[in-house]
């Protein structure tokens, strides 16, 4: 590989390839939970609109449940953006640097993000533990269900950032946009 070439794509075998398959499985599982959560939210909101405007009644827990589905959908989707590198970033200066320096900066950034995700994970875990005894106003379930997807998000994003830190920014290669099978 010459100095000006871009780093090679994903490793076809070895520990990084195995780790990629594990993360790909987690991505697929997460994707299905997102689909179910969004479907639940859409069906519930539609049923609430029907009940309110056609039946002149209401589903008591519709607002709370739809908000919960929304929170789960959003937080479970965040790590998918990490995989694809689509979150907001400013890289005007970094793109002017040599490819090896860009690679090193990307790895350092992934490590910093990993440290942040670990802090978010443990903070959300503590918040969930604190809220576990509280019930939602209209449902007989714990209010900690709002913090659980934050923990899952932080853990899932930490997997992606670990993979980037070890395998480099091109660890997914062209597969970053391909949907795996769970």
148 domain residue, yes or no: yes
pLDDT at position 178, please?
66
pLDDT at position 87, please?
76
> With contact defined as beta carbons under 8 Å apart, do 44 and 62 qualify?
yes
Between the alpha carbon of residue 166 and those of residues 17, 114, 127, the distances in Å are 11, 12, 30
Query: What pTM does this model have?
Result: 0.82
Among 63, 57, 17, CA closest to 44:
63
pLDDT at position 180, please?
57
pLDDT at position 7, please?
47
114 domain residue, yes or no: yes
1 domain residue, yes or no: no
What is the residue range of 102's domain? 15-177
Among 18, 134, 128, 138, CA closest to 66:
138
182 domain residue, yes or no: no
99 domain residue, yes or no: yes
7 domain residue, yes or no: no
pLDDT digits (tens), the chain, 182 positions: 444 444 445 666 788 889 998 999 999 999 999 999 999 999 999 999 999 999 989 888 889 999 999 999 999 999 999 888 777 777 788 888 888 998 899 899 999 999 999 999 999 999 999 999 999 988 899 999 999 999 999 999 999 999 999 988 778 777 666 665 44
Count Cβ atoms below 10 Å from residue 75 Cβ, excluding itself.
23
Domain count for the chain:
1
pLDDT at position 9, please?
55
58 domain residue, yes or no: yes
Among 76, 80, 81, CA closest to 33:
76
């Amino acid at each position: 590989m010459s100095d000006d070439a871009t780093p090679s794509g994903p490793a076809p075998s070895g520990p990084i390839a195995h780790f990629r398959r594990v993360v790909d499985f987690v991505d697929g599982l997460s994707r299905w939970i997102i689909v179910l959560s969004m479907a639940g939210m859409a069906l519930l909101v539609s049923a609430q609109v029907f009940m309110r405007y056609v039946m002149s009644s209401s589903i008591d827990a519709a607002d709370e449940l739809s908000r919960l589905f929304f929170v789960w959908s959003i937080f479970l989707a965040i790590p998918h953006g990490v995989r694809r590198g689509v979150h907001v970033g400013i890289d005007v200066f970094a793109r002017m640097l040599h490819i090896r320096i860009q690679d090193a900066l990307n790895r350092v950034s992934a490590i910093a993000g990993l440290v942040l995700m670990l802090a978010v994970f443990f903070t959300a875990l503590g918040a969930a533990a604190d809220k576990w005894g509280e019930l939602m106003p209209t449902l007989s379930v714990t209010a900690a269900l709002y913090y659980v997807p934050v923990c899952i998000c932080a853990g899932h994003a930490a997997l992606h950032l670990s993979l980037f830190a070890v395998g480099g920014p091109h660890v997914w290669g062209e597969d970053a946009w391909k949907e795996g099978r769970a």
